[in-house]
Amino acid sequence: MVKSPKNWLNVINFILAIIAINIVAQSFYTRIDFTKEKRYTLNKKTKETLEKTKNDIIITVFLDGEIPAAFRRLSNATKDLLNDYKAYANANVKVVFADPLKDVPASEQNSIIEKYIGVGVKPMAVNIKNDAGLTQKIIFPMALIQYGEKQIPINLLQKTGGAATDYEENITSSIQNLEYAFTTGIKRLLKDSTPQIGFTEGHGEPDNSYLSDAINSLSPNYLVGRVDLNLMNKEGLDSLKVLFIVKPKKSFTELEKYKINYFVMKGGRLIWSIDQVNAELDSLQNKGQMLASNLGLNLDDMLFEYGARINYNLVKDLNSSLIPVAIPSAGQQTQIDMAPWLYYPILIPDTSNSIVKNIDGIRAQFTSTVDTIGVANVKKKIILRTSPYNTVSETPKMLSLQTVAEQPTQQEYTSTAKTIGVLLEGSFKSVFFNRPIPVGITENYNLPANSKPAKMIILGDGDIFINQVSKTDGTTFPLGFDRYTQQNYGNKALLLNIADYFTDDDNLIALRNKEIKVRLLDKVLLRTEKTKWQLINAILPLIMLICFATFQHYYRKYKYAK
């Protein structure tokens, strides 16, 4: 048959329409997201950040090659997200997926790993299942963003705890965190200045070895150092964005409190991580018992005016971590065993708050409860609580290691969850308004009656941001890592979240509220019904094909028999 000119014209018009649609699609990017949680839709703040880019951006993702299936899912989610970044960015975005150790001889791998660690790209060892069993592989769940002459590493893995072969829950939370991680990284590269963070010293605070991981974890994105309030002048306080007061043991002078109050009045961000009670496990292990006495830090009036109070008590919680205990044995060498220590509670984050969303429990030591006080123009949000199975002891109190052998009763410890950490936001009242200026203040600080919009977090524990240190060789361990139980807690994630929230005026941490529900198969049901579904998938299509062929045969026979 010869097609008529009209048919040829229709074919040509169809081809031209397809070409036109492709040309338009290259110029205008759009996507229809049918998922319930809008997992493929970028947040408005992300789009605004990408529109501000001027120079080319190179994003290298080190999740390629032979990696476990869970990490492959993280890699694919990263690729989908960065495709959207390329579409909305004002500048050109180049995305590269690479395996740093591909085709690298075993003798040279250590030098390559050290090279990447030098720029903040840290590896981890994972187990891969194969026919031969389990094999260990070094992978880099990281990305590196380069913008002009600046670059910043991005950790794609939200948590570092958990079993070495079961990453499903970890990967799910990491996928939820991807947009926040990349957007905040790009935003930091766009900034002309780096926020400054200070940790106070001069009041018996822990030395740098106990704060090493906190300082090192913050250093890639912030200027971090120690602050002596006696020596710090007004210009130095003005340059600070965030101030940490971590586990002081000596009282603050009125001069130091005046400078802290000025820092708050100018809109500073302040974290109080305070021990109101002097109690240390080292003293207990050396002496067997000790008197937990109250510390006089001279800070109660400030905290009260700002809207909170750290109580002089100690919390015992059934949801607690373990400590090593020496157990003597008749005729044998003393053995070291792990026992629950109720004075070391595992604090539970309030998941409704973006600061502590998607992080693990927080390891604490000798913790006190925190009360909030009604203060005008200040909003209060609880971020950390104990479990409901706790009891509170007033201090001073005699503590003894012998209590580890006691069997707690549920009735004794059934209570309500106690508040340990609160977030305060708003305009705070000046503690020194209409009060004499302390002796030693020589500069004009010009304190107002109320502060500019400021933020502070008050924690009833001074050990939350302190890492463990080996007594034998001085080795420091990661923040939140318990070297005795080899378990990771959420202390480092809390530190980084607070720093992000307190230094970002655009509140990008709200991106953490994005939730992605992964509908995983029921593994137990999958094992029990595996054979049934294999048979169904193998036989049912053949039966359907035979039925269709039989129907088609008799239908054609019936049709043409007419």
Residue 526: pLDDT band (50, 70, 90) is low
What is the C-alpha separation between 175 and 205, in angstroms, rounded? 37
Does position 185 have pLDDT exceeding 80, yes or no?
A: yes
**Helix or strand run (H / E) with residue 262:** helix 254-265
Does position 450 have pLDDT exceeding 70, yes or no?
A: yes
Q: What is the mean pLDDT of residues 309-320?
A: 95
Tokens 């079993």 appear where?
163
Does position 457 have pLDDT exceeding 70, yes or no?
A: yes
Q: What is the pTM of this model?
A: 0.78
Q: What is the mean pLDDT of residues 408-417?
A: 87
Half-sphere exposure of 191 (CA within 13 A, CB side): 16
Q: Can you give the three-state secondary structure of 148-187, one letter per residue? A: CCEEEEEECCCCCCCCCCCCHHHHHHHHHHHHHHHHHHHH
Does position 408 have pLDDT exceeding 80, yes or no?
A: yes
Between these two residues, 372 and 191, which has the higher pLDDT value? 372
Q: Can you give the three-state secondary structure of 82-139, one letter per residue? A: HHHHHHHCCCCEEEEECCCCCCCCHHHHHHHHHHHHHCCCCCEEEEEEECCEEEEEEE
Q: What is the mean pLDDT of residues 258-286?
A: 93
Cα-based distances in Å from 113 to 58, 117, 144, 156: 21, 6, 15, 18
**Share of residues in the chain with pLDDT > 90 (%):** 45
Residue 398: pLDDT band (50, 70, 90) is very high
The region of weakest confidence among 84-88, 107-111, 280-284, 507-511 is 507-511
Q: Which two tokens stand for residue 24?
A: 């338009």
Q: At what angle do helices 168-190 and 69-88 cross, to 10 degrees?
A: 30
Burial of 120 from C-beta contacts in 10 A (0-12 / 13-18 / 19+): middle
- Residue 419 phi/psi, 5° resolution? -80, 130
The region of weakest confidence among 1-5, 224-228, 312-316 is 1-5
At residue 239, the pLDDT reads 94
358: left (phi over 0), alpha (psi -120 to 50) or beta: left
3-state secondary structure of 324: strand
Q: What is the mean pLDDT of residues 187-200?
A: 89
Does position 161 have pLDDT exceeding 60, yes or no?
A: no
What letters, b where the CB count within 10 A reaches 16 and e where it falls short, cover 358-392? bbbbbbbbbbbbbbbeebeebebebbbbbbebbbb
Highest mean pLDDT (candidates 161-165, 233-237, 547-551): 233-237
Spatial CA neighbour of 200 closest among 257, 254, 238: 257
List, in order, residues 6 or more apart from 18 with CB less than 8 Å away. Answer: none
At residue 252, the pLDDT reads 96
At residue 184, the pLDDT reads 86
Does position 162 have pLDDT exceeding 50, yes or no?
A: no
What is the C-alpha separation between 286 and 165, in angstroms, rounded? 39
Residue 5: pLDDT band (50, 70, 90) is low
Does position 157 have pLDDT exceeding 80, yes or no?
A: yes
Q: What is the mean pLDDT of the chain?
A: 86
Q: What is the mean pLDDT of residues 468-476?
A: 90
Q: What is the mean pLDDT of residues 516-525?
A: 60
At residue 528, the pLDDT reads 77
Residue 165: pLDDT band (50, 70, 90) is very low
* Residues 383, 361, 297, 227, CA torsion sign: negative
Query: β-strands 397-400, 289-294: how paired?
Result: antiparallel
Residue 268: pLDDT band (50, 70, 90) is very high
Spatial CA neighbour of 416 closest among 489, 353, 357, 348: 348
What is the tens place of the pLDDT at every residue in 40-78? 678 788 888 888 888 899 999 998 888 888 888 899 999
The region of weakest confidence among 183-197, 203-217, 307-321 is 183-197
What is the tens place of the pLDDT at every residue in 485-517? 888 899 998 999 999 899 887 677 767 656 555
What is the C-alpha separation between 268 and 240, in angstroms, rounded? 8
389 neighbors 417 (Cβ within 8 angstroms) = no
Tokens 């893995």 appear where?
157
At residue 245, the pLDDT reads 97
Cα-based distances in Å from 502 to 193, 243, 268, 270: 15, 10, 9, 9
349 neighbors 401 (Cβ within 8 angstroms) = no
- Residue 328 phi/psi, 5° resolution? -70, 145
At residue 404, the pLDDT reads 84
The region of weakest confidence among 23-37, 103-117, 323-337 is 23-37
Half-sphere exposure of 20 (CA within 13 A, CB side): 6
Does position 37 have pLDDT exceeding 60, yes or no?
A: no
Spatial CA neighbour of 198 closest among 236, 172, 154: 236
At residue 338, the pLDDT reads 86
Q: What is the mean pLDDT of residues 112-120?
A: 87
Q: What is the mean pLDDT of residues 411-426?
A: 93
